[in-house]
Amino acid sequence: MKTISLLLPFTHGVDMCALDHAMRLAKGCNAILVPLALIYVPEDGRTKGARLEHIQQTKDFLEAVKHKAARYDVPIERLEVFTSDVAQSIRVVASEMECEGILLFVGGDHGVLLLASEIKRLMEHVTCKLYVMRLSSNDGRSLKQVLRDRFSHWLLGRPGQRDELLQLQYWSESETLPPLEAGSIT
């Protein structure tokens, strides 16, 4: 039986949640994960090459993948490519490595690990399976704010809701959550 490979391309923004999802998928498929760090180099001759911060981000990405893979016990084959055409380079590597598919992540209206424009270009010219995963986004809100927003409508329909809503608002403004009283929220 042939071992499958899944390509995980990256150009910017290391996202640990996306890496966890990629590891779980690779583990579930008994696949080799191929993290591909792409460093954009402008095609025109006026610039002096890749930006140092892009190179550092790709190193951080590859190191994070290495640690996550060890934790999940997922085999990896790390690659780094300098390119002026990200989408084309992803397609070429996927073909040369005989990857089963390419893992793509989106969150809200933006790309995760890749720019939305790069994801769009990959989707326009499909050469292998694309696994597109949507990550939940809380729009930069804290957990306390998300909880307050989610439960405020529910609390409005209950007796004593005003006091509980005020308590939730207090939680969102304080550093720590107060201890729950027995039967306060059922």
pLDDT of the residue at 54:
86
Give yes or no: residues 59 and 148 share one domain: no
Give yes or no: residues 63 and 95 share one domain: yes
Q: Which domain holds residue 176?
A: 140-186
pLDDT digits (tens, 9 = 90+) for 32-76: 999 999 998 887 755 667 778 888 999 999 999 999 999 999 999
If one compares 81 and 107, the residue with the highest pLDDT of the two is 81
Give yes or no: residues 70 and 149 share one domain: no
Average pLDDT, rounded, for the chain? 80
Give yes or no: residues 54 and 130 share one domain: yes
Give yes or no: residues 182 and 107 share one domain: no
Identify the weakest region by mean pLDDT among 35-39, 136-140, 176-180.
Answer: 176-180
Give yes or no: residues 121 and 145 share one domain: no
Tokens representing 140 are: 């930069």
Report whether pLDDT(10) > 70.
yes
Query: How many independent structural domains does the chain possess?
Result: 2
Report whether pLDDT(165) > 80.
no
Give yes or no: residues 112 and 165 share one domain: no
Give yes or no: residues 29 and 103 share one domain: yes
Residue percentage of the chain with pLDDT more than 90: 57
Last residue of a domain, one of 135, 155, 177: 135
Contact 90, 38 (CB under 8 A): yes
Domain at 12, CATH number: 3.40.50.620
Give yes or no: residues 14 and 74 share one domain: yes
pLDDT of the residue at 185:
41
Tokens representing 174 are: 């304080």
Question: From CA 122, how far away is CA 94, in angstroms rounded?
Answer: 11
Contact 122, 130 (CB under 8 A): yes
In one-letter notation, the amino acid at residue 125 is: H
pLDDT of the residue at 130:
94
Give yes or no: residues 10 and 23 share one domain: yes
Give yes or no: residues 181 and 115 share one domain: no
Please compute Rg for the chain using Cα positions.
Answer: 22
pTM: 0.72
Q: How confident is the model at residue 152 (pLDDT cuts 50, 70, 90)?
A: low
Q: How confident is the model at residue 145 (pLDDT cuts 50, 70, 90)?
A: low
Give yes or no: residues 89 and 147 share one domain: no
Last residue of a domain, one of 135, 160, 175: 135
